[in-house]
Amino acid sequence: MAHLTVTQGIEILILIGYGNTTRTQQGVCNLFNAKYPDNPITQSTVSKIESKFRETGDVKDLPKSGRPKITLDKKIDIVLSMEKNPQSTSTLVASENEVSQTTVLRILGKENYHLYKFQLVQELNEDNTDRRLQLLRHRALQNTETPDN
């Protein structure tokens, strides 16, 4: 079925008519296609719109099933939360915005935010040179004490 606006769906119903002044579905199709040549429809489309109107009383599509989409406002709130407090965790941002942590991570990933935890891997101190020399002497001593096969 061609994607039609609600207005076009109503227009199709008007073209069909009512009572004794009804048109055939093919006739409605021809009239509609003459008016909207860029968005042609078939007789099947007219039939589906007519039956949808008889069943639901409306030409709008029924709401889709499944999990609701995250709104743009919610996405902006999540990104702004991280902008305001970069040390915040994804779990905290998720609970503040009432979404799952996975959703927060997915949204931030799409916005090129890369969350990571700062960890001290190696700290350079004044005595690093002394400790490195001590380690080398220890390893050299181990190599001289261990006989080769």
Q: Does residue 120 lie within any of the structural domains?
A: no
Tell me: do 41 and 79 sit in the same domain.
no
Q: Does residue 85 lie within any of the structural domains?
A: yes
Q: Taking all residues of the chain, what is their mean pLDDT, rounded to a whole number? A: 84
Give every CB contact of residue 108 below 8 A, 6+ residues apart in sequence.
78, 79, 82, 90, 115
Torsion of CA 122, 123, 124, 129, to 10 degrees: -60
What the block records as the tokens of 91 is 């779990």
| Residue 97 predicted with pLDDT over 80 | yes
Q: How far apart are CA 137 and CA 140, in angstroms?
A: 5
Q: Does residue 117 lie within any of the structural domains?
A: no
Q: How far apart are CA 24 and CA 79, in angstroms?
A: 54
The predicted pLDDT at position 146 comes to: 65
Q: Does residue 133 lie within any of the structural domains?
A: no
Tell me: do 11 and 46 sit in the same domain.
yes
Tell me: do 80 and 50 sit in the same domain.
no
Mean pLDDT comparison of 16-25, 47-56, 115-124, 139-148, highest-scoring range:
47-56
Tell me: do 11 and 52 sit in the same domain.
yes
Q: Does residue 124 lie within any of the structural domains?
A: no
Tell me: do 47 and 82 sit in the same domain.
no
Q: Indicate the number of domains in the chain.
A: 2
pTM more than 0.75: no
Q: How far apart are CA 19 and CA 107, in angstroms?
A: 53
Cα–Cα nearest to 50, from 19, 10, 20, 5:
10
Q: How many helices (H) and strands (E) does the chain have?
A: 7, 0
What the block records as the tokens of 51 is 């039956």
Question: Residue 21: which domain range?
Answer: 6-56
Q: Does residue 135 lie within any of the structural domains?
A: no
Q: Does residue 134 lie within any of the structural domains?
A: no
Average pLDDT (92-120) is 82
Tell me: do 10 and 52 sit in the same domain.
yes
The predicted pLDDT at position 27 comes to: 92
Q: How far apart are CA 76 and CA 83, in angstroms?
A: 10
29 — pLDDT class (breaks 50, 70, 90): very high
| Residue 119 predicted with pLDDT over 60 | no
Q: Does residue 63 lie within any of the structural domains?
A: no
Tell me: do 77 and 41 sit in the same domain.
no
